[in-house]
Chain A
Amino acid sequence: MKCQHVDRYIYDFCDNRLSPDIHNEIESHLRECEPCRLKAELTQLENEVLSDKSTIPALSGNFTDKVMENLSPRMSGTVAYHKTIPSRFKISDLAWTAALMAIVLLMIVIAPQLIPGEKQLQVADQPEIIMKDEALVGNRANTVKIVDSGKAVPGNSAEKQFFDCAGTVSEPTDKTSKEPQQVAMALNYSAPIANNQVTDNHTESATPSRKSVSAVPAPISAAPANAEFPYPVNIPASYCFTNADRIDNRTAQYSYRDAGQRELSVIVTNLQSKSDDIKTAMLSDNLSRDEARVNPESNPNEIVFEINGVGYAATLSGNISVEEVKDLTKVLKFALDASVTAP
């Protein structure tokens, strides 16, 4: 082997990375060639110096403490989460997200109570949307029916008394106070609560006072003692009783409103004096009223019940969901009381 070959393999030779044959050949050459042997020794010395860790001074004993001390201002909570890549979802992120969602939900629930007037005006400015919204149980037929009944028999709408959520009773004084209420009812809004809220301006009159949207449920028993007529006794406590309106001598309407300004209207009709579809179905099919009540052909918003042998039909409407109305029709119960005065 020539010196050039040894020079070529000298590093691998010193690293013991050559095949035994080549390694032996180089060893033989080094025994005979002093310059190459010295070169190999120098290479070996370089390797030793490069690998010698003893020449590196020891790290100071408090190195770790220094690092931790320098990091302590940055070690608040988790590591650099302000830079965290979104794909790495962490438990703390979930907690923050849940807390944020809870705050948003709380705001959604509380906000309507804080600014009821604005919300009411906003809806009043868009009556068509409300009326055509299929998701809401506007029950256009029923709503129009209310207005029509009021217009058809002006003056017969024996609206005697209004109740606010606290059960306070007030009485309208003349017909002009009735008209804005009808407009409001047509738009699925509650009627004005007190006389001092009623003006000739329909928009303004459709706007309830803060008092009318109090979250305090009205006690149903607050209805005045007078002629007996069925009224719903187990309206959910989330609804405030707003008024009772005797449409005519066989029909009464009970209005409620919840904290979210949603309206619920229950119109109770005496079937003894009305040949409506349900009564016809009951009679022609020889169904009991309970059977008629669950008859899929019947109006799902209607409840047929009987008190003291007298049949009644209650129709639910309002800007609440279809599902909520259906749920109410399953549980709602009625009792006779002097809730509404006779016309």
Chain B
Amino acid sequence: MITDEMLAARILNGDSAAFEELVNRYKNSIFHVVYRLVGQYQEAEDISQEVFILVYEKMYQFDRKKKLSPWIHRIAVNTAISSLRKKKNVVNLSFDESFGKAYDNYSMINDFDPQLLFERKELAEVINSALMELPEGYRAVLTLRFQMDLKNQEIAEILGVSKENVEVKIHRARKALRKVLMSKLSERGGFHEMSAR
């Protein structure tokens, strides 16, 4: 099987079939990342197409000494985040550390109701919904970890941060998710009712 790096070399020589192979090889993982970040099918597909066009146009910048996969996923994450920021017209250039710190003192031990666990399907929808309310940076790092099953080093390469920093960001993203999740459950009423008991 031809390696990604060999594909890149062929693409640089104008081999359109090689690029088609590259698209087929990465389209699902790219779409998954983008979909997790934007949460809408059509928009995710449009952005995924844009990602591959960017990959083609920037292929000359790819360092063939490195792996192609992190490079492509980095383009996907950046493109999706960029698209979201344009849409929201909100600039959130990096992981918002203060956002994460706001959850550090949060404790849910006494705020939890056991009946919530019986509604797993509904709870899963709430978790997905909470995920979409996280800052893009948190969504990206959680997606790369859980959807792509990437290791810290690979996530670090995609996000352009240190390996150690990845673990910190994942932890803060989880805390943030839990905070948003509990807030949503609280809005649905069950949380307060159960807390009152």
Binding site for B on A (CB under 8 A): 3, 7, 11, 34-36, 38-39, 41-42, 45-53, 55-57, 59-60, 63-64, 66-68, 70-71, 74-75, 77-81, 83-85, 88, 90
> Main secondary structure on chain B at its contact with chain A?
helix
Give CA–CA (A7, B120) in the complex, Å: 22
Give CA–CA (A80, B107) in the complex, Å: 53
Q: A34-B114, A42-B112, A46-B177 are in contact. Are A80 and B123 (CB under 8 A)?
A: no
Judge if B20 is at the interface, Cβ distance under 8 Å: yes
Q: A46-B177, A63-B23 are in contact. List 17 more A-B contacts (CB 8 A).
A: A11-B171, A35-B110, A36-B109, A45-B117, A46-B174, A50-B143, A50-B145, A51-B147, A53-B147, A56-B31, A64-B27, A68-B23, A74-B56, A75-B19, A79-B14, A84-B60, A85-B61
Binding site for A on B (CB under 8 A): 11-14, 16, 19-20, 23-24, 27-28, 31-32, 35-36, 41, 45, 48-49, 52-53, 56-61, 107-110, 112, 114, 116-117, 120, 123-124, 127-128, 131, 142-143, 145-147, 149, 171, 174, 177-178, 181
Subset of 15 A-B contacts with CB under 8 Å? A3-B109, A7-B107, A34-B114, A38-B114, A45-B124, A45-B127, A47-B146, A49-B128, A52-B124, A59-B28, A59-B45, A64-B20, A75-B16, A77-B14, A78-B12
Output the nearest chain A residue to B177 by Cβ-Cβ distance: A46
For B52, the chain A residues whose CB sits under 8 A away are 67, 71
Q: Is the CB of B49 within 8 A of A63?
A: yes
Distance between A15 CB and nearest chain B CB, rounded to angstroms: 10
Q: Is the CB of B112 within 8 A of A39?
A: yes
Give CA–CA (A78, B18) in the complex, Å: 12
Question: What is the count of residue pairs linking A and B with beta-carbon distances less than 8 angstroms?
Answer: 125
For A11, the chain B residues whose CB sits under 8 A away are 171, 174
For A74, the chain B residues whose CB sits under 8 A away are 53, 56-57
Q: A7-B109, A46-B127, A78-B13 are in contact. Are A59 and B27 (CB under 8 A)?
A: yes
Q: Is the CB of A78 within 8 A of B36?
A: no
Distance between B112 CB and nearest chain A CB, rounded to angstroms: 5
Give CA–CA (A75, B14) in the complex, Å: 7
Q: Is the CB of B41 within 8 A of A57?
A: yes
For B16, the chain A residues whose CB sits under 8 A away are 68, 71, 75
Output the nearest chain A residue to B28 by Cβ-Cβ distance: A59
Q: A46-B181, A49-B124, A70-B49 are in contact. Are A38 and B41 (CB under 8 A)?
A: no
For A88, the chain B residues whose CB sits under 8 A away are 60
Give CA–CA (A47, B12) in the complex, Å: 40
Interface centre among B27, B127, B149, by most A CB within 10 Å?
B127
Q: A11-B174, A64-B24, A68-B23 are in contact. Are A80 and B146 (CB under 8 A)?
A: no
Give CA–CA (A225, B142) in the complex, Å: 102
Q: Is the CB of A38 within 8 A of B27?
A: no
Give CA–CA (A53, B149) in the complex, Å: 11
Give CA–CA (A43, B146) in the complex, Å: 13
Q: A35-B112, A39-B108, A41-B117 are in contact. Are A55 and B128 (CB under 8 A)?
A: yes
Distance between A3 CB and nearest chain B CB, rounded to angstroms: 6
Distance between A212 CB and nearest chain B CB, rounded to angstroms: 52
Give CA–CA (A77, B24) in the complex, Å: 21
Picked from A35, A56, A66, A70, the residue with its CB within 8 Å of the CB of B32 is A56
Distance between B123 CB and nearest chain A CB, rounded to angstroms: 6
Q: A7-B107, A11-B171, A35-B110 are in contact. Are A79 and B59 (CB under 8 A)?
A: yes
